[in-house]
Amino acid sequence: MLAVTDLVLSTTIFPKMLSIFWFNSREIDFSACLTQMYFIHSFSAMESGIFAAMALDRYVAICHPLRHSTILTNPIVAKIGLAMVLRCGMFSLPYPFLARQWPYCRTNIIPQHLCLHMAVVNLACADIRISSYYGLFVQFSVMGLDGIFIVASYIQILRVIFSLPTKDARIKTFGTCGSHLFVILAFYVPRLFTSLLYRFGQNVALNFHVLISSIYIFMPPMLNPIIYGVRTKQIWDRLLRLFIHEGP
């Protein structure tokens, strides 16, 4: 599910971004911009939900290892996945409708390489507090609650890890969570900075805005296959066969 989310998110953004770089095609239809906005926010929220679900999986695997298969059954996992899809779709749906309702009578130049909600509505010549407040509400209801759940899960995980009798056992157990924590930080920290910059960083350089938003959008899809792929034994075996010449 994480791979599909990363694929859709990248497919939503990269074609237009590459057309800007390759063909200097700097225009986008407003409806296409709103469509891109919906998919960006929807699948970013879905990625956050997947990270929370992965934290739950690690919590059950480490804190209740003997009950893992009975707690996280296939029907339970399917229900969690369906709930994430519905949550992300419903919370992200108002974004394009809110952006469409505002009058745009100043400039039509988006100071970004993608159609983020606040980047678009900041161009409106009207009071956009409704859009800003709704964006903050979604940030807290989706990303905030997911983040709180992840932190709570890892507090319990760390308590179990530090109670293990040997250092090797602690290192080995924590190693199963280290990659997950790294990807989570690469996703949430730039996302938090982006949200704050659009609301309170009017004096911050535009290049920094673009850099931070690019990191939180592109970093997780780039890192996820590398971090989770290199831990897969089949991939390691295939790489070894490619680069190590077997003798006769």
Residue 155 lies in a domain: yes
3-class DSSP state for residue 182? helix
Residue 164 lies in a domain: yes
The alpha-helical segments, DSSP class H, found in 122-166 are: 129-138, 145-162
Q: What is the pLDDT of residues 212-227, one digit of tens each?
A: 777 777 777 777 777 7
Residue 154 lies in a domain: yes
Structural domains in the chain (count): 1
Residue 126 lies in a domain: yes
Residue 75 lies in a domain: yes
Residue 173 lies in a domain: yes
Range of the domain at 136: 2-243
Q: What is the pLDDT of residues 60-100, one digit of tens each?
A: 988 888 888 898 899 999 999 999 999 998 999 999 999 99
Phi, psi (rounded to 5 degrees) for 128: -105, 25
pLDDT at residue 91, as a whole number: 93
Are 56 and 151 spatial neighbours (Cβ–Cβ below 8 Å)?
no
pTM: 0.82
Concatenated DSSP letters for 63-77?
A: HSGGGHHHHS-HHHH
Measured CA to CA, the distance from residue 12 to residue 41 in angstroms comes to: 11
Residue 248 lies in a domain: no
For position 160, which CATH number holds?
1.20.1070.10
The alpha-helical segments, DSSP class H, found in 72-114 are: 74-92, 94-101
